[in-house]
Amino acid sequence: MTTKPPSPIAEFPEDSLEKLAYQSVQDIPTQEPNDRHRLGYQVWAWLKERKGSLDDVVRISGSRILVPEHEALKMIRAFLSSKGIKTL
């Protein structure tokens, strides 16, 4: 019996919304990696639809971040601003 190798993983392009969203939260300390993924998903959804505020995104994500919310928000905004995305 033989085993097939796993399928190759296709990375998102560097300028895609998905990549930007997940990169914006990569330095935020969380209790578990899944918490960071959940926060990244919420940032992506906000970038795509622009519904609500970025403050709401951090709050409703349910991520267990290990820094105050305002600090996490500041980190996300700084990253997105550096990429030319307006967050206000």
pLDDT tens digit string along 1-54? 568 888 888 888 888 899 999 999 999 999 999 999 999 999 999 999 998 899
Q: Is pLDDT at 68 greater than 90 in this prediction?
A: yes
Tokens linked to 74: 């500041």
pTM: 0.84
Q: Which residue has the higher pLDDT, 11 or 83?
A: 83
Tokens linked to 76: 């996300």
51-70 mean pLDDT: 92
57-77 mean pLDDT: 94
Angle between helix 69-82 and helix 33-49 axes, rounded to 10 deg: 60
